[in-house]
C-alpha cells in the first residue's frame, strides 16, 4: 500500500541557506532510487539531492531561487512497498537482446525496445545523478579515432576543458548537458580546482571556526563566559578535509553521470586541434573541435626569497597548519 514520505535536505557540510538552482522533478513524476531531485549551489560548488526511494512525486515544496538548509523538506514522495515495486517491475516487458538482429532474427519478427516516454524522461534526468560512492573509471569510447600530430591515434571529442575549477567543471557539465562529447583535464586527482581543494572552501571552513571562537568571547560582556577554547589542530584539519572531500566526491559523481570523461594530467597543445596529456601512465593524445582553458591561478614563488624555508608559507601551506605560531606576518590583503 502506498505511503507518503517527506524528503529533506541531507547533511551538506557546513553550509546553510543554500540556493536551489535547478528542480529536476515535478508532481506526478515516477522516480527511482538515487535519481536526482534538484541541484543546490553553495560557495562555488554544486550538488544534487538524490531520492532515497522509488515512488511518485506528490508535491515539490521548493522552486528555483529558494534557499534551503539541512533538514528542510523539499519533496513529498508517495512510495511503494516491496511487493508493489516487484509487481510493477514484473509487468514490464523484458529488454531486447541487442545481438538478436546480428544472430539471425527473421524479417517477419517484430522487435520492440523497452523504452516508453516515461523512461525516456527518466534517462534525461539521470544525466544529473549524484553519487558519492565508488565507481568504475571507464573511459568514454571514441566514436571516430582521429590522426593527430606525431603519428599517434587518439580519441576525438567535441570539447576539451583544461582546468577543473568552478569555471572549468561548470562549463564541462553544461556542454555535456547540451550533448557535446566532453573531456575535463586537471593535474589534481580531485575536481574543484584551487577554490574547492586549497582555497575558498577549506579557508571558509576554518574561518567559520574562528568566527565561533570570536562570538563566544564577545558574550563575556553579556555575562556568559565559555572560557578559552582548547584547539585540537588535528581534529580541526580532519573536519576541514571532510568538508572538502564531501564536495569533491559530489563533483566526481556529477561528472560521471553526465558522461564527462575526466583525465588527471598536464595538458599541452600540439596543434590548434590536438593535445598531448602527460598522465601517470604516460602520454595520451587527444583531438578536439573546441577547447576551453580554465587553469585559474596558483601561488607564486617570489624571486629573491628563501622559498625553501619552512617558515615561508603560501596559501596552501597555511591550510596545513601543524601548530599555532607565536607571530605571523601576512603579505597581501586578498
E runs forming strands in the chain: 3-8, 18-23, 30-31, 36-42, 45-50, 55-60, 67-68, 73-79, 146-147, 153-162, 182-186, 261-264, 266-271, 274-279, 282-293
Domain endpoint, select from 59, 85, 111: 85
Over pLDDT 70: what percentage of the chain? Answer: 76
Domain assignment of residue 133, yes or no = no
Domain assignment of residue 312, yes or no = no
Q: 62 with 186, same domain?
A: no
Tell me the per-residue pLDDT of 109-119, one tens digit each, with 9 for 90 and over.
333 333 343 33
Q: Any idea what the CATH number is for the domain that residue 289 is in?
A: 3.50.50.60
Domain endpoint, select from 85, 110, 127: 85
Q: 181 with 65, same domain?
A: no
Domain assignment of residue 286, yes or no = yes
Strands 182-186 and 3-8: unpaired
Domain assignment of residue 221, yes or no = no
The structural domain count of the chain equals 2
Q: 156 with 280, same domain?
A: yes
Question: In terms of residue numbers, what domain contains 251?
Answer: 146-195+235-293
Q: Any idea what the CATH number is for the domain that residue 40 is in?
A: 2.40.50.100
Which three cell numbers, joined as nine digits, stand for 37?
531531485
Q: 46 with 177, same domain?
A: no
Domain assignment of residue 35, yes or no = yes
Q: What's residue 118's pLDDT?
A: 38
Tell me the per-residue pLDDT of 36-68, one tens digit each, with 9 for 90 and over.
898 888 766 677 888 888 999 999 999 999 999
Q: Which residue has the higher pLDDT, 81 or 140?
A: 81
Domain assignment of residue 17, yes or no = yes
Q: 162 with 35, same domain?
A: no
d(CA 59, CA 77): 7
Amino acid at each position: 500500500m502506498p505511503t507518503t514520505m517527506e524528503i529533506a535536505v541531507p547533511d551538506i557540510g557546513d553550509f546553510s541557506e543554500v540556493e536551489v538552482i535547478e528542480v529536476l522533478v515535478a508532481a506526478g513524476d515516477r522516480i527511482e532510487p538515487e535519481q536526482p531531485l534538484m541541484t543546490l549551489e553553495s560557495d562555488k560548488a554544486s550538488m544534487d539531492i538524490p531520492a532515497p526511494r522509488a515512488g511518485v512525486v506528490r508535491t515539490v515544496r521548493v522552486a528555483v531561487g529558494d534557499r534551503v538548509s539541512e533538514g528542510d523538506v523539499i519533496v513529498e514522495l508517495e512510495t511503494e512497498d516491496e511487493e508493489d515495486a516487484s509487481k510493477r517491475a514484473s509487468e514490464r516487458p523484458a529488454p531486447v537482446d541487442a545481438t538478436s538482429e546480428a544472430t539471425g532474427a527473421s524479417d517477419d519478427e517484430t522487435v520492440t525496445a523497452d523504452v516508453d516516454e516515461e523512461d525516456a524522461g527518466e534517462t534525461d534526468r539521470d544525466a544529473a545523478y549524484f553519487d558519492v560512492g565508488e565507481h568504475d573509471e571507464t573511459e568514454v569510447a571514441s566514436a571516430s579515432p582521429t590522426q593527430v600530430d606525431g603519428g599517434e591515434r587518439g580519441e576525438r571529442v567535441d570539447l576539451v576543458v583544461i582546468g577543473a575549477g568552478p569555471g572549468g567543471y561548470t562549463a564541462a557539465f553544461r556542454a555535456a548537458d547540451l550533448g557535446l562529447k566532453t573531456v575535463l583535464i586537471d593535474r589534481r586527482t580531485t575536481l574543484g580546482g584551487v577554490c574547492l581543494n586549497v582555497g575558498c572552501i577549506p579557508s571558509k571552513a576554518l574561518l567559520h571556526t574562528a568566527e565561533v571562537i570570536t562570538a563566544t568571547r564577545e558574550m563575556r560582556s553579556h555575562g556568559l563566559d565559555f572560557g578559552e577554547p582548547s584547539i585540537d589542530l588535528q581534529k580541526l584539519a580532519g573536519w576541514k578535509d571532510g568538508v572538502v572531500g564531501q564536495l569533491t566526491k559530489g563533483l566526481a559523481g556529477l561528472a560521471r553521470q553526465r558522461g564527462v570523461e575526466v583525465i588527471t594530467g598536464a595538458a599541452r597543445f600540439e596543434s590548434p586541434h590536438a593535445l598531448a596529456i602527460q598522465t601517470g601512465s604516460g602520454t595520451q593524445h587527444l583531438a578536439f573541435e573546441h577547447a576551453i582553458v580554465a587553469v585559474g591561478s596558483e601561488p607564486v614563488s617570489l624571486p629573491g626569497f628563501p622559498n625553501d624555508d619552512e617558515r615561508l608559507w603560501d596559501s596552501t601551506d597555511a591550510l596545513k597548519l601543524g601548530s599555532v605560531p607565536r607571530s605571523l606576518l601576512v603579505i597581501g590583503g586578498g
